[in-house]
């Protein structure tokens, strides 16, 4: 089922609930007898919750296929619940102490499932489960033996979980809670580094801001639980305030990565379709060449034999029929020569049967100027589409030499190295050729580009012409 963005009434209801929750946090902080400074807490408390809810709703609306937006909204409300520890009521205060770590659990859940909000493997699922255990539950055993002074807040109400006050045992349990958080952080750090290194460079763009701020916040919270107190707690809260925007930036970058992948896939399909078109054209050329050779050319040869036989019979009669038949045979020879030339132009049989070098030698032998051919070992056949493209590059270049160059000599070089075939055709003619003005060269450029190759032309006036093509050629 295709993910659906949240309906507008639901978003409005969530936004109103967040507004009410934030106002409740402000009232709670200002009325607290043990939160100091009150104004800072009254501003900072709702600001963090609103930042997560606001950015979460935006992400949820823009990227409904990802669960990150909904998780960010939940984190915002969990943060507001954590401010209940500012209450003067012992019951509300105790509830605040117990649920205070829930936002950390959701925070870790977002971090290990970003950017989809879904677990990618069992390790990420295990880390999230440990987060839901460690953050809210690890501090609870210490509350059974810690009074207000042991919690670092002499003015705070006595928590209702207190069984008996035992400062030493409370300190040990608090240290164990901090140790559990530290161990969890080490596992998360190792997992994040491994995943970051395993991702493609473009995907790292979306993970880097998220992992940076998430791990920084996690580290600061861990240090605060280890006993650093406000020295680490306030920086942790500040990092938490910034983190939702890092999540949002990562989600937007995810969209860019998706668009880039779609564009690359489209380009790959375009290249493949162009290659299929060229291959289909070559196959049709080969079929036409065979049809001409096996069909029309064979029939014309048979007709020539019949005409020759008729001429022999008519030669002794002394009539004009002998001369007429002779002229018909001459015209037939001319037609056969033109037909063979046409068949060679469509797709030479020698290219299919013997390979590129013999086909290039045949081209050179028909050129009006001396042409030297230098090719790699002809015993190693190239892929058919590469051979065909290289042949027609040379054929078009030599045709232009015959028509326009007024050259005295030309050279052809075909080499294969490093997974590419290079074709160079040079002449000592008048130069001045322009690929943009010739449909033949434009067609060659399209044919070479269909194979992911390139075609370039250098033809300064008076200095000859150099046509260079490079065609990717996978190893045989």
Q: Which pLDDT tens digit goes with each residue over 150-181?
A: 888 888 898 999 999 999 999 999 889 888 98
Determine the average pLDDT of the residues in 35-39.
Answer: 82
Listed by start position, the domains of the chain span 8-268, 353-472
Q: Which residues contact 455 (CB under 8 A, 6 or more apart)?
A: 393, 435, 441, 444, 445, 448, 449, 467, 468, 469
Determine the average pLDDT of the residues in 275-288.
Answer: 62
- Average confidence score pLDDT of the chain: 81
Determine the average pLDDT of the residues in 282-289.
Answer: 61
Full-model pTM: 0.57
Name the strand (E) or helix (H) holding 346.
Answer: helix 321-346
Six token digits for residue 46? 């709702």
Six token digits for residue 261? 């992948």
> What band does 259 get if pLDDT is binned at 50, 70 and 90?
low
User: Residue 444's pLDDT is what?
Assistant: 77
Name the strand (E) or helix (H) holding 65.
Answer: none
Is 225 or 135 the better-scoring residue by pLDDT?
135
Six token digits for residue 13? 């209801």
Residue 245 contacts residue 264 (beta carbons within 8 Å): no
Six token digits for residue 175? 């240290």
Candidate from 194-208, 262-276, 287-301, 346-360 with smallest mean pLDDT: 287-301
Closest CA to 128 of 75, 172, 202, 83: 75
CATH topology of domain 353-472: Heat Shock Protein 90 (3.30.565)
Omega prior to 37 cis, within 30 of 0: yes
Instruction: Work out the number of other CB atoms within 10 angstroms of the CB of residue 185.
Output: 18
């Amino acid at each position: 089922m295709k993910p659906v963005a949240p309906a507008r009434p639901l978003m409005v209801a969530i936004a109103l609930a967040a507004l009410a929750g934030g106002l409740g946090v402000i009232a709670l902080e200002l009325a607290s007898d043990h939160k100091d400074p009150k104004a800072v807490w009254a501003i900072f408390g709702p600001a963090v919750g609103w930042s997560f809810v606001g950015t979460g709703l935006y992400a949820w609306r823009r990227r409904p296929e990802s669960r990150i937006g909904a998780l960010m909204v939940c984190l915002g409300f969990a943060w507001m619940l954590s401010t209940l520890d500012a209450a003067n009521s012992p019951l509300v205060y105790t509830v605040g102490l117990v649920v205070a770590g829930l936002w950390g659990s959701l925070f870790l859940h977002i971090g290990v499932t970003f950017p989809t909000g879904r677990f990618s493997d069992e390790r990420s699922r295990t880390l999230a489960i440990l987060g839901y255990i460690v953050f809210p539950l690890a501090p609870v055993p210490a509350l059974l033996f810690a009074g207000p002074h042991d919690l670092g807040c002499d003015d705070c109400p006595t928590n209702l979980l207190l069984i008996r006050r035992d400062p030493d045992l409370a300190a040990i349990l608090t240290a164990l809670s901090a140790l559990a958080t530290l161990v969890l952080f080490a596992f998360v750090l190792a997992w994040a580094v491994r995943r970051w290194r395993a991702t493609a460079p473009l995907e790292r763009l979306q993970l880097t801001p998220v992992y940076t701020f998430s791990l920084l916040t996690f580290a600061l919270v861990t240090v605060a639980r280890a006993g650093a107190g406000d020295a680490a707690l306030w920086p942790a809260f500040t990092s938490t305030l910034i983190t939702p925007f890092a999540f949002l930036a990562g989600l937007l970058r995810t969209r860019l990565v998706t668009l880039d992948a779609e564009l690359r896939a489209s380009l790959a399909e375009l290249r493949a379709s162009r290659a299929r078109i060229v291959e289909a054209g070559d196959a049709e050329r080969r079929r036409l060449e065979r049809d001409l050779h096996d069909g029309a050319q064979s029939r014309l040869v048979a007709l020539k034999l019949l005409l020759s036989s008729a001429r022999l019979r008519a030669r002794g009669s002394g009539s004009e029929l002998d001369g007429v038949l002779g002229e018909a045979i001459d015209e037939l020879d001319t037609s056969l020569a033109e037909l063979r030339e046409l068949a060679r132009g469509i797709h030479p049989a020698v290219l299919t049967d013997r390979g590129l070098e013999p086909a290039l030698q045949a081209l050179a032998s028909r050129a009006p100027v001396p042409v030297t051919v230098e090719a790699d070992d002809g015993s190693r056949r190239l892929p058919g589409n590469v051979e065909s493209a290289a042949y027609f590059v040379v054929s078009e270049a030599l045709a232009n030499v015959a028509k326009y160059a007024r050259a005295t000599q030309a050279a052809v070089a075909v080499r294969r190295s490093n997974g590419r075939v290079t074709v160079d055709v040079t002449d000592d003619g008048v130069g001045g050729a322009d690929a943009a003005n010739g449909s033949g060269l434009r067609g060659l450029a399209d044919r070479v580009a269909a194979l992911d190759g390139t075609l370039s032309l250098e033809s300064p006036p008076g200095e000859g012409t150099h046509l260079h093509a490079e065609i990717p050629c996978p190893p045989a």
